[in-house]
Amino acid sequence: MNAPDTSPDLGRVRRMEAVAFRSFPATTTYFDGTWAIRLTAGHPAKRLNSVNPLDPSDTADLSERIETAARRFEAYGRPLIFRHSPLAPKALESLLEERGWKRFEESLVMTGDLKSMPLADAVDRVPLQDTVAWVDAADELEGGSSGHETNKNRAGLLEVISHIEAEVGLFALFDQDGAPLSVVRCVRDRELAGIFDLATHEDHRREGHGAAVLKSALKWASGRGATTAWLQVVADNAPAVALYRLLGFEEIYRYTYLGASR
């Protein structure tokens, strides 16, 4: 008996990649064949600064195209990184690995049926209308959890959000003194609701704040006509993956980054 085919549906992958690009837009995107070369001077996120191959059969002139991409990244002061989903050509992966490039940071793409999610206890919250206040809260949580200085990516994130053409819901929980406890960004693109930037203060984790703000965002998206929620999460972020699975999210494919050895 043949083993079941567990390879992802490439049509579905293409659709999710496209909505991800729209929901988290780079400020500049170049195309080289079917490679989407995304660059963002104001924000260092790898999803915003990477080469994204989108067709497994696009294998022409790989060496020359890698060099052309490298020059673009050098002009932005960014290291050349490839983001490889199931749409990346195997020949490209092999060539990069032959040159000593290494894989790092594998991520899951997960989706869930909003109608089936346990949202009965979700609090109806109105999204923040003040984008600056939300970005300040998100930046404070990122700085506190990582030990980095706040305001490092503030301007870049404001710029990214301003370029989103779909409907954006910015949600945040604050303590009685006005300090941020948890934030999340939800982007409703027709029937799809993308979840981004879920973060909780390091001193208040495992208190339910992240789940609460996430459920409110999902309930908001469902009420606006979304039927499917989706997200991208680093594979080894066990607490986040566990929360998403508890809500009904399931993995549909993975991607990883490839970078030159240093």
pLDDT tens per residue across span 150-168? 456 788 899 999 999 999 9
Average pLDDT over residues 220-225: 97
Average pLDDT over residues 7-18: 94
Q: Where does the pLDDT of residue 5 fall: very low under 50, low under 70, confident under 90, or very high at 90 and above?
A: low
Residue with tokens 């999610």: 117
Q: What is the pLDDT of residue 151?
A: 58
CB 174 within 8 A of CB 184: no
Report the mean per-residue pLDDT for the chain. 93
- Name the amino acid, one letter, at 46: K
DSSP E strand stretches across 86-157: 102-113
Structure tokens that stand for 104 in this block = 């790092």
Is 50 exceeded by the pLDDT of residue 146? no
**Nearest one of 59, 46, 111 to 87, comparing CA atoms:** 59
Average pLDDT over residues 75-85: 96
Average pLDDT over residues 129-153: 74
168-216 pLDDT, tens digit each: 999 999 999 999 999 999 999 999 999 999 999 998 988 899 999 999 9
Could you give the CA distance from residue 79 to residue 244 in angstroms, rounded to a whole number?
31
Q: Where does the pLDDT of residue 49 fall: very low under 50, low under 70, confident under 90, or very high at 90 and above?
A: very high
Cβ neighbours for 172, distance < 8 A, ≥ 6 positions apart:
128, 133, 134, 137, 138, 180, 182, 183, 184, 213
Domains of the chain, each with CATH number or no CATH: 10-106 (no CATH), 113-254 (3.40.630.30)
Q: Where does the pLDDT of residue 8 fall: very low under 50, low under 70, confident under 90, or very high at 90 and above?
A: confident
Q: What is the pLDDT of residue 150?
A: 46
Kindly report the number of other CB atoms within 10 A of residue 6's CB atom: 5
Is 70 exceeded by the pLDDT of residue 147? no
Q: What is the pLDDT of residue 35?
A: 98
